[in-house]
Homo-oligomer: A and B are copies of this chain.
Amino acid sequence: MVEPTKVLLSEAEMPKDWYNVRSDLPFSMPPMLHPGKGAPVEEDDLVPIFPRALVEQELTLERWVAIPEEIREIYALWRPTPLVRAQRLEKALGTPARIYYKWEGVSPPGSHKANTSVAQAFYNKLEGVKRLATETGAGQWGSALAFACQLFDLACKVYMVRVSYDQKPYRRILMETWGATCVPSPSRETEAGRKVLEADPETSGSLGIAISEAVEEAVKREDTKYSLGSVLNHVMLHQTVIGLEAKAQLASIGAYPDVLIGCVGGGSNFAGLFLPFIPDKLNGAAPELRVVCTEPAACPTLTRGPYAYDFGDTACTTPLLKMFTLGHAFVPPPLHAGGLRYHGMAPIICALLDQGLIEARAYSQLPVFAAGLQFARTEGTVPAPEPMHAIRAVIDEALRCREAGKAETIVFSLSGHGHFDLSAYAAYLSGSLEEPAQEEDAVRQALACLPMVP
């Protein structure tokens, strides 16, 4: 064992600042627009739903934002996370490529989401907030916020997209174990939810609908603020601990990636990994570095959506974001990768894609699960359905390296474990997992209505 299987950092080497890529971009990000006024939002527009510290982080152009000691102490429960060499997968593929994964599943809630949930709970607590409301798809974010709220003694209410609520019952129990309340969305508890249920009582729900419910609750209740697990700038900021650690870990073994790969729903896990590498592409240090976003063919935001201003939620209550979008009314077909069922995408990722700095590709469900199972059976670790999309691309890139005889370095984000997604594995193993039937129709229909907002 000359090169270790796991590249570790000590707690003392954990990043002391989050990295803000916006300070280094050679172009201006299109601003968030106020949904009523149509003008760029200002701090005061956002403070009704977010604590001021997070609003400042949302808008800041400072390069580094210090991570408070209280947050670093909690990060230390599982961070720095390992960077693992997937040698058994390499061998199975017969590839000369070197494959590494940044393993975020070691956090108590089981994914990268804890990197921002802890930060968000901390700043809310600091500003006297008593209660947070949020949405969750597959449940990774809801669990992460429940975990963080428990540690900071905040109440927590989670609207969980119905299809995932039904598919992943253990996720609800996990949230309750950490003291949170979890209801399926759409629910009868909000106007937004009731409206959707009246139109379609059998709806599988969507992240867009669940966001509307949580935002409505935060606006209506004095004691409650809203918390978002992806998409926004401050969430991407918190996740950069992933990439900052990965860069240091790779440097410690004298390596640098040729390709970075991740899955994107709202975009936070992969942005967390790749954003700290973007300056190297811009300043000429690594102009050839490729950054590959993967998404489901059933929700092909980056690969088929137009780049336009759209709402973040179904009920049109959020600010307008410039993003690749399938339209805020799009309800993706039921998919096991519930965390990727979102009509839009982080504006930072969209701007980088629009500028040609990163690439995107879409995969359908069955080849994605085949890749996930191959990973579980070679590396042992059982991935969640979301990062299986990344694994699909990793395997494809590694096979390309085999054909080309190239020993490239491939680094990907393994954002979470699949312990609560085993019903999906059971469906795949029994042969009953199918591609969502309505996929093409649904996407075509959604695209026909776009742009929702010019």
Contacts and interface: CB of A to CB of B under 8 A. Distances in A.
Interface in A140-191: 147, 150-151, 170, 173-174, 176-179
Interface in A58-107: 72-73, 76-77, 84, 88, 106
A281 interface: no
A429 interface: yes
Contact of A73 (B5, B84, B179): B5
Contact of A176 (B1, B110, B177, B426): B426
B106 A106 contact: yes
Contacts of A373: 177
Interface in A92-134: 106, 108-110
Contacts of A438: none
Contact of A1 (B73, B108, B179, B429): B73
A176 B424 CA distance: 12
Interface stretch (A35-43, A328-336, A378-386, A444-452): A378-386
A122 to B, nearest CB: 14
A355 to B, nearest CB: 38
A454 interface: no
Contacts of A8: 8, 10
A307 interface: no
B377 A179 contact: yes
Nearest to A176: B429
B170 A422 contact: yes
B179 A108 contact: no
Of A6, A12, A377, A380, most B-chain CB atoms within 10 Å? A380
A173 B423 contact: yes
How many copies of this chain does the complex contain?
Answer: 2
Contacts of A4: 10-12, 76
Contact of A170 (B108, B151, B419): B419
A342 B323 CA distance: 58
A209 to B, nearest CB: 26
A84 B10 CA distance: 13
Nearest to A171: B422
Given A108-B380, A419-B419, A1 B76 contact: yes
Contacts of A425: 173-174, 176-177
22 contacts: A1-B11, A1-B12, A1-B72, A1-B73, A1-B76, A4-B11, A5-B76, A5-B77, A8-B10, A77-B84, A77-B379, A77-B380, A109-B380, A110-B419, A170-B170, A173-B423, A173-B425, A176-B426, A177-B373, A177-B376, A178-B376, A178-B377
